[in-house]
Amino acid sequence: MDQNDSTKARMAQIASVWNARALGLISEMDLKVEKAEAGGVEVRMPFNPDFCVDDEGTMLHGGILTALLDSAFGLANFLAIDNVATMATVDLRVEYLRPAQSRADVIVSAECYRQTRHVAFNSGRVWFDTPGLPEVARGFASFSIIRGETSMLDKLNTMGPGS
Amino acid sequence: MTLEELQAQCARVPFFRFIDFTITNADDDAIFASMEQSNRHIGNPVIGAFHGGITASFMEAIASVSVSRNWDILLPKPINLTIDYLRPALAGTLFTKATISKKGRRMASIETVAWQEDAKKPVAKGLFHFLLV
């Protein structure tokens, strides 16, 4: 395996452990990691009527887009930064550019565009998987990064379902 | 609007049923609510903490309730939000309070704070703008 392949394999491994959590909001959102690179991630969330503002399911609530951005930022940081033991969102800003009126899957792209020893800076965009539909939200975040040999993802990996 | 009426209005919103909170008090200045942690709220399974997006959604929901109550708009249009995460929100109950900072004709600015056992140790603060027209 050349270095490029091993990097890809490591990225895929991180993304899969991150997504295969035994419990929690990430599994409720039923996310599919479509791109997992140090330079950025793309994650797909299927339409879910539980996340809507109305029983007819015509519009998603903004809160789920905020949760999606926060999640994607976390994954982007795990991929972009070496030796992350754990991290915490310090600050999150979301702009709701237009009503999230669609039943299409939601795509979020997120990147860590700057990292220092203790801080990661993130930006992201959210849109529906429908050609021609403009983006519905943008987000920015700063994370506190705690570096160490044992990653939170390693702990998740050994927890197993329901533990 | 009574607490029961406010709660009934919230129960009509599927996403509010998903995050599942209770409005505990509403006076002229502020709305108070609580949310018990369940599995679907968890963001960090290692420490069993609430997902930051759930904390934000809870505060956004109560901020929008304070707008609907004061302006009689069922679902005010959210423009943007800023969340300051101060401490991990661990297993148990999360409380929040939403206060109106600015009551304009076109815009509303709402401030929220969330805490657990000790109201003097907030876990997060929020700032939300809504369009009223």
- All domains of chain B in start order, with CATH: 3-131 (3.10.129.10)
Sheet holding A137-147, edge to edge: A32-37, A40-45, A106-115, A119-128, A137-147, A84-96, B77-85, B122-131, B107-115, B93-103, B30-36, B22-26
* Mutation to test the B interface, candidates A27, A45, A53, most B Cβ within 10 Å: A53
Question: Could you tell me the pLDDT band of residue A162, with boundaries at 50, 70 and 90?
Answer: very low
Q: What is the pLDDT of residues A132-149, one digit of tens each?
A: 999 999 999 999 999 988
What is the tally of structural domains in chain A? 1
With a CB-CB cutoff of 8 Å, which residues 114-153 of chain A face chain B?
152
CATH number, domain containing residue A52? 3.10.129.10
Q: pLDDT for A47-70, tens place per residue? A: 999 999 999 999 999 999 999 999
Residue A161, pLDDT score: 47
Bridge-partner residues for A76, per DSSP?
none
d(Cα A43, Cα A36) in Å, to the nearest integer? 9
- Give the chain B residue whose CA is nearest to the CA of A69: B53
Residue B68 reports pLDDT greater than 90: no
The pLDDT-based confidence of A1 (bands split at 50, 70, 90) is low
- pLDDT the model gives residue A108: 98
Please report the ipTM that was assigned to this predicted complex.
Answer: 0.96
> Would strands B30-36 and B77-85 be described as parallel, antiparallel, or unpaired?
unpaired
Length of chain B: 133
A72 touches chain B (CB under 8 A): no
For residue A93, list chain B residues with Cβ-Cβ distance below 8 A.
80-83
- The minimum CA-CA distance between B16 and chain A, rounded to whole Å, is 8
